[in-house]
Amino acid sequence: MEQKIILASHGKLASGMLSSLELICGKNEKISALDCYLTEEFDLSQEVMQVVEDTKNNEVVVITDLFGGSVNNEFLAYVNLPNFYLVAGLNLPFLIEFTTKPFYGSIEETIKLVLESSKETIQFCNETIQTELIEEEF
């Protein structure tokens, strides 16, 4: 079973993240982006239904920008499908690790481990640098 990763966001965040990921890690045909609400005619329900239909014979990980946002909420309707996984909080450290590291057991275990690891990359640099400078003085 082939794995697909769909990045989905309000505006162009998804395609921007995909562009950054490709710049750092190279192109990966298994990863695509869904930018939402770029036109007045955009129909979120239809687009999400099409994504799900197009990937129904694959293992699919959808990563959305915002938990509780309309894009995430639309995909929530599909979380009970087999081989469908939904993650909220699209960010580059998560994407890099998730797409470049080998899986640790099941895909669910991998998602959980990568989520924990990527949380550590969010730093208040002023504080981090000060702490490191103080530790170096001793």
Q: How many domains does the chain have?
A: 1
CATH number, domain with residue 128? 3.40.50.510
Reported as a single tens digit per residue, the pLDDT across 22-38 is: 999 999 999 999 999 99
Q: The domain containing residue 109 runs over which residues?
A: 3-137
Reported as a single tens digit per residue, the pLDDT across 40-53 is: 999 999 999 999 99
Reported as a single tens digit per residue, the pLDDT across 34-93 is: 999 999 999 999 999 999 999 999 999 999 999 999 999 999 999 999 999 999 999 999
Structure tokens at 50: 């099409």
